[in-house]
Amino acid sequence: MFKEEIVDEVAVCLEPEYQHYRDLVFRLAVDEGKAVRVPDDATARPFPGSVEEGFEGYIVRSLVFDQGREAGLAVKRLGDIVGSLAGLVVLSPILLATALAIRLQDGLPVLFSQARGGLQGRPFMIYKFRTMVPGAEARLDEVAHLNTRRGPAFKADHDPRITQLGSFVRRTSLDELPQLWNVLKGEMSLVGPRPQPVHEVAAYDDWQPAAPQHEARDHGPLAGRGARPAGLR
């Protein structure tokens, strides 16, 4: 359900015969970064970090991420707006020069977009300068044998889909600069974990989330490169 629907909060309400699943469901929801509420049970062991509170007329044990951090998150968001705006203005000559070079040497499109999983799995489109041949994602099966990673993530040391100019753009991390627009829109942050492509998240084991979903943001546009998700070009 967490992979198919956008879920912000989870209320764990089980019939007596299913109470032995309580801890398992609670841990799964916590691992996915959801706010979790469980009816208070004086006979059960309280969950670490949870607090007792009233909710919809019931006494529950709640574990809520980012509780009481509204001011800190507001400051962080302000920093993202200022930083991304400054970056777009200061780096605009580089952005324009990179776009023009791709247009002249590799043709259209100049930008590559891909659906990523954001806050609580909400999808958004991430933007990067294109560094591969057009239609590279559709040709993934052709280079699957070059994958040096296990699981749904893809990384190849010498991916033939990368253009000559794209190789330079990647080495200099210029392809990441359009993500400043994602930061300005509030879909990403200058600091935070890297969200995975939606099609990769769906491939992860439901009991092993790809990344903490309560971390709503992505690494900044100039973040270091690790394994690059398939088709992230």
Q: Where are the domains of the chain?
A: 9-63, 70-201
What residue ranges of the chain have pLDDT lower than 70?
Answer: 1-4, 33, 42-49, 64-70, 120, 202, 204-233
Per-residue model confidence (pLDDT) at position 215: 40
Q: Tokens 């705006």 — which residue? A: 85
Burial category of 139 from C-beta neighbours within 10 Å (exposed 0-12, middle 13-18, buried 19 and up):
middle
Per-residue model confidence (pLDDT) at position 122: 80
Distance CA 155, CA 146 (A): 8
Per-residue model confidence (pLDDT) at position 227: 37
Per-residue model confidence (pLDDT) at position 232: 38
C-alpha torsion sign, points 230, 173, 82, 78: positive
Whole-prediction pTM: 0.69
Per-residue model confidence (pLDDT) at position 120: 67
Per-residue model confidence (pLDDT) at position 20: 78
